[in-house]
Amino acid sequence: MREEMRSGRRRQIEEAAYRLLEDRGYGGTSMLAVAKEARASNETLYRWYGDKRGLFKTMVASNAAATTAALKAAIGCGADPLATLDEVAPLLLSMLLGERAISLNRAAASDPSGELGATIAAAGRDSVLPLVEALIRQGLETGVLAAPSARVAAEWFLSLLVGDQQIRRVIRAMAALPEAEIRARAAAAMTAFRKLCAG
């Protein structure tokens, strides 16, 4: 089978899995249902992904990779660290609170083995935090920022930006934020961050 077709098919299957995940949850999404939704056979699903966890692990990994890549792109082009953070903040927030990321976090919460959660952490926070950290380190070196360490400041940044929005979204205590609110929240977080890290 041609490689392109196969990867296209995989994407279709994963799209179908996202749709079901988003309105039935992890427990309520069966492999059979995914197969039907994607008009594929469950045998194919099992052959390609091993089992249910394998399917969602793949989705988690590729989603996290996409997030990291988008962030890297945004960071790479900027020059001034603080201006870059201003730009990165709303982007990061919208990705962390987007329907897909939240659904995958719910799935990880429902997975007793912890593999999904480990994958999210490894490809998500553990990849993103160093990027922010490096950015902040630049700010520390040029003196526009002041903090005990780049690491601590990076954690402040993320805490002020995200707060408990993520967990609240995950437990369905909060609806998705419209674009305008995302920007407003990011701006507020940056104001607080600047104050906290003022020289």
Partner DNA sequence: CGTTTTCCGTACAGATGTGTACGCTCTGCG
Partner DNA sequence: CGCAGAGCGTACACATCTGTACGGAAAACG
Decide if residue 50 touches a copy of itself (CB under 8 A): no
Stretch that binds DNA, among 47-55, 98-106, 118-126, 164-172 (CB under 7 A): 47-55
Stretch that binds DNA, among 25-33, 60-68, 71-79, 147-155 (CB under 7 A): 25-33
Decide if residue 33 touches DNA (CB under 7 A): yes
From the centroid of its chain, how far is CA 60?
9
Neighbours of 104 (CB within 10 A): 27
Among 3, 4, 23, 179, binds a copy of itself (CB under 8 A): 23
Stretch that binds DNA, among 45-53, 72-80, 126-134, 145-153 (CB under 7 A): 45-53
- By beta-carbon proximity to a copy of itself, the closer residue of 63 and 105 is 105
The distance of closest approach from Cβ of residue 66 to DNA in the complex, given in angstroms and rounded to an integer, is 23
Angle of the 99-110 helix axis to the 115-123 helix axis, nearest 10: 140
The distance of closest approach from Cβ of residue 41 to a copy of itself in the complex, given in angstroms and rounded to an integer, is 25
Separation between Cα atoms, residue 17 and residue 51, nearest integer Å: 13
Decide if residue 127 touches a copy of itself (CB under 8 A): no
Burial 51-77 (b: 16+ CB within 10 A, else e): ebbebbbbbbbebbeebbeebeebbee
Stretch that binds a copy of itself, among 43-51, 87-95, 133-141, 188-196 (CB under 8 A): 188-196
Decide if residue 116 touches a copy of itself (CB under 8 A): yes
- Phi/psi-derived region of residue 111, left when phi > 0, alpha when psi is between -120 and 50, beta in every other case: beta
The CB-side HSE value for 187 (13 A sphere, CA atoms) comes to 6
The distance of closest approach from Cβ of residue 116 to a copy of itself in the complex, given in angstroms and rounded to an integer, is 7
Separation between Cα atoms, residue 39 and residue 131, nearest integer Å: 40
